[in-house]
Structure 1
Amino acid sequence: MKEKVFQYLDGDRIIWIIAMIFGLVSVLAVYSSISSLAHKFQEGNTFYFLMKHGFMLISGFGIMYLMHKTPHRYIFRLSQLLIWLTAILLLITLLFGTNINGGVRWITIPVINQSFQTSDLAKIVLIAYVARVLSQNSTERRNFKRGVLPIMGPILIICALILPANFSTAFLLLVTCMTLMFVAGTRILHLLSITAAGVLLFVMLLGIASAFPNVLPRVSTWKSRIASFLPESEPEKVWDQKTGTFVIPESSPRSEMDLQRNYQVEMAKIAIHRGGMFPNGPGRGTSRNYMPHPYSDMIFAFIIEEYGSILGGLGLLMLYIILMFRILKIASRTEKKFSAYLALGLGFLLVLQALANMAVAVNLIPVTGQPLPLVSMGGTSLWFTCIALGIILNISRENKLPPSRSNSKQAFA
């Protein structure tokens, strides 16, 4: 039975199994968590959202299958053109994009009337471009002018275009690109110069936002998320004659703020606490009734509430860690530098995004809005995750092919 299932699936079998487990978890968690969404938009029809998510998931796996059969040498050839087309798309999104949930991150495809985040495309394209340049400039990568500048320009341009609407994605993408450069042998001093340029660009954007609030409205969101995450100063207390102690007045700014500050994370912490160590069972979570976005941003907390900290929490974390180790193994076995850098970059970004989502749920970092890859209910972002995994599986597949059937070494640096 096992051989029949995998006779059509090439590449790393463990990655296929992990992806299937994520898909199963996604269906169970999303269907259990969408009741409030269904009541708000579909008069309580949860089946509508289940079918919609199921379609995106099945089509995503179809895309993954096609990508794992498509030689990734085409990505090598097209990455130089795609990087500039992606920059144009990001600029169009920034100027004319659709505003959803306070962020202008989407553009709509006219024919099929489907919106997608251009930053999802930019993640794959930029990593492919960086992998190409690093593989070609192996002898010059320690030279700032010839080895670093050709990469630094596109990295900063793409991240700068993503930053106004999606700070967390721009940050994760920058960290991933710098990690690739470090692995490829770029000097620490040169990486620090890129970091300094990124910080300078960020400070400039903050200055522009302060002078022209309407230009970069998302900056206020960044500030409020960071401020709600940081510890607050203790408000002034007054003497209460009834209790004989100093208390915080109910009308104090701190009390009003406590009712609203970081509501999403506070509800996630309650859900995790109710989950306990062991599973409560599917459909028994109650946080879907009050926690914002239990099917996307906070799905990790909702899964823990229904499946416990051991199975739901540590289980999911271990799957992502195993996925990263499998990708590292694939990258170490390939003879082509481009293939190794591409697999490493796509895998690192995917797992880093997952860790960011989990860290938000347990209040380790401020709210980022990053979905849990292959688990959160999503639209085209799910497709782009499947594209990334499909590319990694294709690299794994070609590692196993004999030299006569694999891509020519002349096609890659």
Structure 2
Amino acid sequence: MMKEEAVEKPRRSDPYIWGIIIILYIVSVVEVYSAISREITGGDVYTPIIKHVLLLFSGFLITYVTSRVHYKWFKVMAYLMIPATIVLLVSILLWGDTLNGAKRTIPVMGISLQGSEVAKVTIVLAMATVLAKSQIKRGVNTKGVVLVVVLVTIFSGLLFTQGLTNTLLFIGISVCMMLIGGVEWYKLGIIFLVYLVLALAVMQAKDILTESELFNKQEQTVQDGEKKDVLIQRSSTWKSRLEDFFDSTPEYEKETTDANRQEHRAAMAMAHGGITGVGPGNSREASRLPLAFSDYIYAIIIEDLGFVVGGVGLLLVYLMILARAGLIARRCTKAFPALLVMGMAVMIVLQALFNMAIVVGVFPVSGQPLPLISKGGTSIWMMSFAFGVMLSVSRYAVKDTGANIKSERESGLPEDLQAANPTNLA
């Protein structure tokens, strides 16, 4: 009697990641509504939050659709997104709209796209593809490592005027993904030296440009008719932020000025919230804290929910993303899906940690939205896509039985992405 063929179990996306997404949605709706005091005009209380809910719903659709796409197609998407993102970033540098002192967005078909958010997802897709294709018996070949460093350099250079945290974020993502990809330690040492040399070169170039009489005297006319040199303005902004960060004077002894208003109001909000918080919607500082609904929403969350629930609790939720991604990666037999799921998780969690560190004063002031919570269309869409990629891997790459493993090998994954999971934990 012939053995009955094993029937492949129906696949479903990871329910724990879906649960984390729902938690972040709930926090986002409640806290953005608490923080939009500055946007409410003429008694129109509900329009801003309705727009935000619609953005979250569109993000949910992006996550759902992406989760149903087989992860093998993200290689094709990487090849398409790399040149498209470079064109987008160059266009923003040349013709973008100024936001918070730098050219950050550009209108595309009526939608204001923020290039840095697109670049974060693109660089993860690109590095996952490069590192998966560059697998050798004991690590990653030199060509793959060089390509990763080149990608980080290009994207960091195109985003240089928008702040230094994007560069640090790209470096952090690349180092983590190379560790996951099995890059040898001596190569990582060389990479650190390369990054250090590049950083010193950029800082030196910035100082030369700042001190140059030619640039100091030159004025650039922007669209609103104001006379200023954007590069010099950003350089002075970075300098003042770093000087303020390293100033040993206690914050409570400093006078609140336009330059430090964000840090001071954020500190006041967190102090007001204390351990248990004042309750959702009872924020005192939301109407006075600049960017309370976007870059500084973490301060409002702590004010509303307190240090324990809002501060530590939300931090643990983001760390759960990384932990769950690690479990999914362990059950992947191929390098490409393992790198995809871990790359997206590292990108989301590092951005969240950067945002929190900036708000609580551990890191110098810079603009980074809190993933899937801060108000902002491009950020929500890109983070939703990142979660969708993770769910796709959990749906199509995680294997439990011998029959399912056979199915994966026959799933049409390109030959150059057939390298085994380098973590050797599957």
Asked whether the two chains share a fold, i.e. TM above 0.5, the reply is yes
Using the size of structure 1 for normalisation, the TM-score is 0.86
Match status 1:82 vs 2:81: yes
SS for the counterpart of 2:295 is coil
CA deviations over 1:147-168 (Å, ceiling 9, x no partner): 4223222221111111122321
Kindly indicate whether the alpha-carbon contact (under 8 Å) linking 1:105 and 1:166 is maintained by their aligned counterparts in 2.
no
Structure 1 residue 50, shift from structure 2 partner: 0.7
Partners of 2:79 and 2:282 lie apart in 1 by 50
Moved more, 272-281 or 76-85: 76-85
Using the size of structure 2 for normalisation, the TM-score is 0.83
Q: Which runs of 4+ in 1 moved over 6 A?
A: 140-144
Residue aligning to 1:34 = 36
Residue aligning to 2:4 = none
Structure 1 residue 16, shift from structure 2 partner: 0.5
Cα 1:102–1:11 change in 2 (3 A) is same
> Unpaired runs of 5+ in structure 2?
1-9, 217-228, 419-426
Residue aligning to 2:92 = 93
Match of 1:224 among 231, 237, 240: 240
Match status 1:198 vs 2:198: yes
Match of 2:148 among 126, 141, 151: 151
Structure 1 residue 284, shift from structure 2 partner: 1.2
Partners of 2:265 and 2:372 lie apart in 1 by 23
Amino acid at match of 2:376: G
Partners of 1:105 and 1:208 lie apart in 2 by 24
1:226-245 equivalent positions in 2, closer than 5 A: 226-232=242-248
Structure 1 residue 397, shift from structure 2 partner: 0.8
Kindly indicate whether the alpha-carbon contact (under 8 Å) linking 1:36 and 1:289 is maintained by their aligned counterparts in 2.
yes
Moved more, 64-73 or 173-182: 173-182
Moved more, 100-109 or 20-29: 100-109
Partners of 1:198 and 1:68 lie apart in 2 by 37
- Aligned CA RMSD, in angstroms, stands at 2.5
Kindly indicate whether the alpha-carbon contact (under 8 Å) linking 1:87 and 1:158 is maintained by their aligned counterparts in 2.
yes
Partners of 1:162 and 1:300 lie apart in 2 by 24
Partners of 2:384 and 2:92 lie apart in 1 by 23
Moved more, 381-390 or 92-101: 92-101
Moved more, 224-233 or 167-176: 224-233
Match of 1:318 among 303, 316, 319: 316
Structure 1 residue 84, shift from structure 2 partner: 2.4
Structure 1 residue 96, shift from structure 2 partner: 1.2
Moved more, 215-224 or 56-65: 215-224
SS for the counterpart of 1:108 is strand
Moved more, 46-55 or 279-288: 279-288
Partners of 1:87 and 1:197 lie apart in 2 by 23
Aligned length: 382
Partners of 2:259 and 2:230 lie apart in 1 by 25
Residue aligning to 2:412 = 408
1:8-407 equivalent positions in 2, closer than 5 A: 10-39=12-41, 43-109=42-108, 111=109, 113-139=110-136, 145-186=142-183, 187-207=187-207, 209-210=209-210, 211=212, 212=215, 214=229, 216=231, 217-232=233-248, 259-400=257-398, 402-403=404-405, 406=408, 407=411
Kindly indicate whether the alpha-carbon contact (under 8 Å) linking 1:142 and 1:148 is maintained by their aligned counterparts in 2.
no
Residue aligning to 1:239 = none
Cα 1:145–1:400 change in 2 (3 A) is closer
Cα 1:24–1:181 change in 2 (3 A) is same
> Unpaired runs of 5+ in structure 1?
1-7, 235-254
Percentage identity across paired residues of the two chains: 33
Cα 1:301–1:143 change in 2 (3 A) is closer
Kindly indicate whether the alpha-carbon contact (under 8 Å) linking 2:149 and 2:191 is maintained by their aligned counterparts in 1.
no
